[in-house]
Amino acid sequence: MSVSDTQFIGAWRRVLELSKLQPGQTVTVLTSASTHPQTLRCAIAASSALGAVVNRLDLQPVNGEKALSRDSLAYLGTTPLTGNKAAIAALKASDLVLDLMTLLFSPEQHEILASGAKILLAVEPPEVLCRMVPTEDDRARVLQATNLISRSKVMTVTSKAGTELRCELGEFPAIAEYGFVDEPGRWDHWPSGFALTWPNEGGTEGRIVLDRGDILLPMKCYISDPIEIVIRDGYARSITGGFHADLLAEYMASFEDAEAYAMSHVGWGLQPRAHWSTLAQYDREATIGMDARAFEGNFLFSLGPNNEAGGTRTTTCHIDIPMRRCTVSLDGQSVVVDGQVQDAAGTAYARKRKEFL
Ligand SMILES: O=c1ccc(O)c[nH]1
């Protein structure tokens, strides 16, 4: 279902207000070939209505012939900004960059943020953005989780399907994704609502058993046969199972890059307005799957780059795998139990959604 410009401009205005956009500040809207026209139109209208000086910077797409997917998060590292001094200068001189193109995991993104500019990524369809307009509650809930991560030394993850994983923490910061950029130098992604960090380099051991209904991104498929991934010294050492294991293994092998098998970020979903089932309702290329990354109670882990957290690994292959029904603990305190987020007292949130069956 579409949303009207009126509704979408209102959503943008709310996100820009939460991002503390002030009259007279400079907003640069970063676009490329895949930018959604209604998102562009409404982002410019909302920024202008709030008194900002609004620019648009349109860049030529890159990597199309290298990537096996058109998903903007599938092939990372170099972007249309790579080596583009004029474009980088314009973004560094902006107070707020609305990234309707996807800079995520790019070295240039860090250079722009270091100048104090804020970057908000927004590439999901307009109706998804309107369904998950961020709130102060989202921010509070995610910051509570990242504060706990920041104080923790070990994350353990288990599941009835057989997952037994241990991640040493502390080398990298915890990252809060709550959908708006309220401080200079902050990056965020609308829609989101999850907490993540990177395990220490080489500090992840164990096995991950993906079960029926867990999700592979960027493939955007629910797996039907279990997949076992053995992790040793921070790298996936084997990926075994049925058809979906082959799909994952073959896709990763196509990058011919040993670094693609490294652990990337680990964390859990905290967005009650995101749903596990949404991916089944969209054509593959119509979404990048943020409902899957953000649904409350998922364990989201990923393989590949760590430059987003300040590491040096910029492998172009990035795999995100949201899992259901895991138990996630930090220094022995369970934050998710069998897919149910625990509140600070360690009891399951009262599910807002009524159950009728
Ligand atoms: O918002 C995002 C999107 C993808 C990812 O891997 C991390 N955060």
Per-residue confidence band for 353, with pLDDT thresholds at 50, 70 and 90: low
Residue 205 · residue 233 · CB < 8 Å: yes
Q: What 3-state DSSP class applies to 228? A: strand
Q: Which atom of ligand 1 is nearest to the CA of 192?
A: 1
Residues 98-113, mean pLDDT to the nearest whole number: 91
Residue nearest to atom 4 of ligand 1 (CA): 73
Ligand 1 centroid to 189 CA: how many Å?
8
* Cis peptide bond prior to 218, omega within 30° of 0: yes
- Convert the pLDDT of each residue in 269-301 to its tens digit: 999 999 999 999 999 999 999 999 999 999 999
- Find all residues with CB under 8 Å of 208, minimum gap 6, and list them: 157, 163, 165, 228, 229, 231, 301, 321, 323
Residue nearest to atom 2 of ligand 1 (CA): 189
Structure tokens at 161: 């399907």
63 DSSP 8-state letter: -
Q: Which atom of ligand 1 is nearest to the CA of 264?
A: 6
**Which pLDDT belongs to residue 273?**
97
Angle between helices 107-114 and 85-92 (to 10 degrees): 40
Q: Compare 312 and 156 and report the one with higher pLDDT.
A: 156
Answer yes or no: is the ipTM higher than 0.90: yes
- Find all residues with CB under 8 Å of 189, minimum gap 6, and list them: 104, 120, 121, 122, 177, 179, 290
**Which pLDDT belongs to residue 107?**
86
CB count in 10 Å sphere of residue 240:
12
**Which pLDDT belongs to residue 350?**
52
3-state secondary structure 139-164: HHHHHHHHHHHHCCCEEEEEECCCCE
CB count in 10 Å sphere of residue 309:
18
Q: Which of 244, 234, 226, 230 is nearest to 325 (CA)?
A: 226
User: Hunting for tokens 């369970």 — which residue is that?
Assistant: 334
Residues 215-242, mean pLDDT to the nearest whole number: 98
**Which pLDDT belongs to residue 356?**
82
Per-residue confidence band for 33, with pLDDT thresholds at 50, 70 and 90: very high
Structure tokens at 115: 């100048």
**Which pLDDT belongs to residue 78?**
83
For the chain, percent of residues with pLDDT exceeding 90: 90
**Which pLDDT belongs to residue 4?**
98
**Which pLDDT belongs to residue 354?**
74
Ligand 1 centroid to 94 CA: how many Å?
23
For 110-124, give one letter per residue: b (16+ CB within 10 A) or e. Answer: bebbeeebbbbbbbb
Ligand 1 centroid to 101 CA: how many Å?
14
- Find all residues with CB under 8 Å of 343, minimum gap 6, and list them: 349
Residue 228 has pLDDT above 90, yes or no: yes
Q: Which atom of ligand 1 is nearest to the CA of 318?
A: 6
Residue 271 · residue 188 · CB < 8 Å: no
- Convert the pLDDT of each residue in 39-88 to its tens digit: 999 999 999 999 999 999 999 999 999 999 999 999 998 888 999 999 99
Q: Cα–Cα distance between 29 and 289 in angstroms, integer?
A: 22
Query: What is the rounded average pLDDT for all residues in the chain?
Result: 95
Residue 217 has pLDDT above 80, yes or no: yes
For 157-183, give one letter per residue: b (16+ CB within 10 A) or e. Answer: bbbebebebebbbebbebbbbbbbbee
- Convert the pLDDT of each residue in 5-20 to its tens digit: 999 999 999 999 999 9
Q: Please, what are the domains in the chain? A: 5-130 (3.40.50.2300), 134-354 (no CATH)
The preferred substitution site among 69, 73, 119, 180 for testing ligand 1, maximizing ligand atoms within 8 Å of CB, is: 73
Residue type, 60: Q
The preferred substitution site among 128, 177, 287, 293 for testing ligand 1, maximizing ligand atoms within 8 Å of CB, is: 293
Q: Which residues line ligand 1 (CB under 6 A)?
A: 73, 104, 177, 189, 192, 293, 302, 320
CB count in 10 Å sphere of residue 215:
24
- Convert the pLDDT of each residue in 137-190 to its tens digit: 999 999 999 999 999 999 999 999 999 999 999 999 999 999 999 999 999 999
For the chain, percent of residues with pLDDT exceeding 70: 98
Residue 220 has pLDDT above 60, yes or no: yes
Ligand 1 centroid to 1 CA: how many Å?
25
Residue nearest to atom 1 of ligand 1 (CA): 189
Residue 324 · residue 275 · CB < 8 Å: no
- Convert the pLDDT of each residue in 111-135 to its tens digit: 999 999 999 999 999 999 999 999 9
Pairing of strands 221-222, 96-99: unpaired
| C-alpha pair distances (Å), 69 with each of 37, 125, 254, 277 | 21, 18, 12, 22
Ligand 1 centroid to 12 CA: how many Å?
20
**Which pLDDT belongs to residue 351?**
55
**Which pLDDT belongs to residue 352?**
57
Residue nearest to atom 6 of ligand 1 (CA): 320
Ligand 1 centroid to 105 CA: how many Å?
9
Q: Cα–Cα distance between 173 and 25 in angstroms, integer?
A: 29
Ligand 1 centroid to 23 CA: how many Å?
30
Q: Cα–Cα distance between 330 and 291 in angstroms, integer?
A: 24
Provide the Cα torsion 280, 281, 283, 287; round to 10°.
Answer: -90
Ligand 1 centroid to 90 CA: how many Å?
25
**Which pLDDT belongs to residue 77?**
80
